[in-house]
């Protein structure tokens, strides 16, 4: 009769646990899935905000929307515009830079899952992403101040005369930067995240946050010249953002130097073309 006092297997299960709860708990225990979810939510938020602003500024009709996403946002130096500029650069950072960091973040998630299966303690990927974004949010703050300064110069009588050559200089600088030693060193670090995490692995949140900071700095060194081209193309130019974001993603995923050099020559060509057109009076 002792079996009467033995609990049945069904009695030992928590009655409040259903298949949905189990599925959620399982998903939350997978670092790679968390990494993908974080990137998807943040990137979608960035692009969603930028497209929403473009739609609000677009004239009626499809052609008006296409015109809005292909040009810079019409801003001035008012307080409202300054707030928009800051939010816009943060959104641009999320939209453009998180996808390029995808291979690095997913690599961390895969290593973390392997460590987790071995019973080792891990730090969730969102800590790494927070460190990475801290660097780029710092760049967004710098870009906001720079653009506010640029907007304040619009009232200067000679501002229009230097806008075109300044854009040409940005393209030339971005093209030449493609061949610099600093660019190549940062690019190699971005292209080889596995060896970076393997040599610097830690299970401390502060340590993982610093790994994110370091990866953010490598990414900044790799992509800053292209991000500064947004001053030439016009902030909030969604088409240019998409093109530059795609270029940066391909460059990080391509081990060969051919693509990066081709982009460098292309930027130099654009800069020289702008200078030639400006010098001949075709562009004022």
Q: What tokens does 243 get?
A: 């093109």
Is residue 238 within 8 A of residue 69, CB to CB? The reply is: yes
Give the whole-angstrom CA distance, residue 246 versus residue 241: 8
Q: What is the pLDDT of residue 126?
A: 92
Condensed to tens digits (0 to 9), the pLDDT of residues 153-212 reads: 665 666 566 778 888 999 999 999 999 999 999 999 999 999 999 999 999 999 999 999
Give the whole-angstrom CA distance, residue 264 versus residue 257: 11
Give the whole-angstrom CA distance, residue 215 versus residue 202: 15
Give the whole-angstrom CA distance, residue 228 versus residue 242: 14
- Which among 150, 159, 176 is positioned nearest to 235, based on CA atoms? 150
Condensed to tens digits (0 to 9), the pLDDT of residues 6-52 reads: 444 444 444 445 544 434 444 445 677 877 888 888 888 887 877 77
SS3 label, residue 174:
helix
| Contacts (Cβ under 8 Å, ≥6 apart) of 154 | 76, 77
Give the whole-angstrom CA distance, residue 153 versus residue 85: 16
| Contacts (Cβ under 8 Å, ≥6 apart) of 266 | 175
Condensed to tens digits (0 to 9), the pLDDT of residues 212-237 reads: 999 999 999 999 999 999 888 766 67
Ramachandran sector of residue 196 (left: φ over 0; alpha: ψ -120 to 50; beta: rest): alpha
Q: What is the pLDDT of residue 56?
A: 66
Is the pLDDT at 137 greater than 70? The verdict is yes
Give the whole-angstrom CA distance, residue 96 versus residue 34: 20
Q: What angle do CA 222, 276, 167 make, to 5 degrees?
A: 40
Count of H helices and E strands in the chain?
A: 12, 0
Give the whole-angstrom CA distance, residue 177 versus residue 189: 16
For the whole prediction, is pTM greater than 0.85? no
Give the whole-angstrom CA distance, residue 203 versus residue 114: 13
SS3 label, residue 68:
helix
What angle, 0 to 180 degrees and rounded to 10, lies between the N-to-C axes of helices 258-279 and 238-253? 150
Ramachandran sector of residue 75 (left: φ over 0; alpha: ψ -120 to 50; beta: rest): beta
Give the whole-angstrom CA distance, residue 111 versus residue 117: 10
Residue with tokens 């690095």, as numbered in its chain: 104
């Amino acid at each position: 009769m002792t079996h009467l006092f033995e609990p049945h297997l069904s009695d030992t299960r928590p009655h409040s646990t259903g298949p949905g709860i189990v599925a959620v708990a399982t998903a939350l225990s997978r670092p790679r899935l968390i990494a993908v979810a974080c990137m998807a939510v943040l990137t979608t938020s960035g692009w969603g905000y930028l497209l929403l602003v473009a739609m609000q500024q677009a004239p009626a009709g499809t052609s008006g929307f296409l015109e809005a996403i292909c040009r810079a946002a019409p801003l001035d130096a008012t307080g409202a515009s300054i707030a928009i500029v800051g939010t816009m650069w943060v959104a641009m950072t999320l939209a453009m830079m998180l996808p390029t960091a995808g291979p690095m973040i997913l690599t961390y998630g895969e290593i973390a899952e392997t460590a987790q299966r071995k019973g080792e303690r891990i730090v969730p990927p969102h800590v790494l992403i927070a460190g990475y974004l801290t660097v780029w949010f710092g760049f967004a703050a710098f870009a906001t101040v720079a653009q506010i300064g640029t907007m304040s110069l619009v009232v200067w009588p000679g501002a229009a005369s230097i806008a075109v050559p300044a854009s040409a200089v940005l393209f030339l600088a971005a093209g030449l930067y493609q061949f610099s030693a600093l660019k190549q060193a940062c690019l190699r670090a971005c292209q080889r995240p596995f060896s970076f995490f393997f040599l610097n692995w830690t299970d401390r949140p502060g340590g993982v946050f610093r790994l994110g900071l370091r990866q953010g700095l490598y990414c900044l060194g790799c992509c800053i010249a292209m991000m500064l081209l947004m001053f030439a193309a016009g902030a909030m130019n969604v088409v240019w953002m998409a093109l530059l974001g795609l270029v940066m993603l391909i460059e990080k995923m391509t081990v060969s130097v051919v693509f990066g050099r081709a982009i460098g020559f292309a930027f130099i060509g654009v800069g020289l073309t702008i200078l030639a057109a400006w010098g001949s009076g075709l562009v004022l």
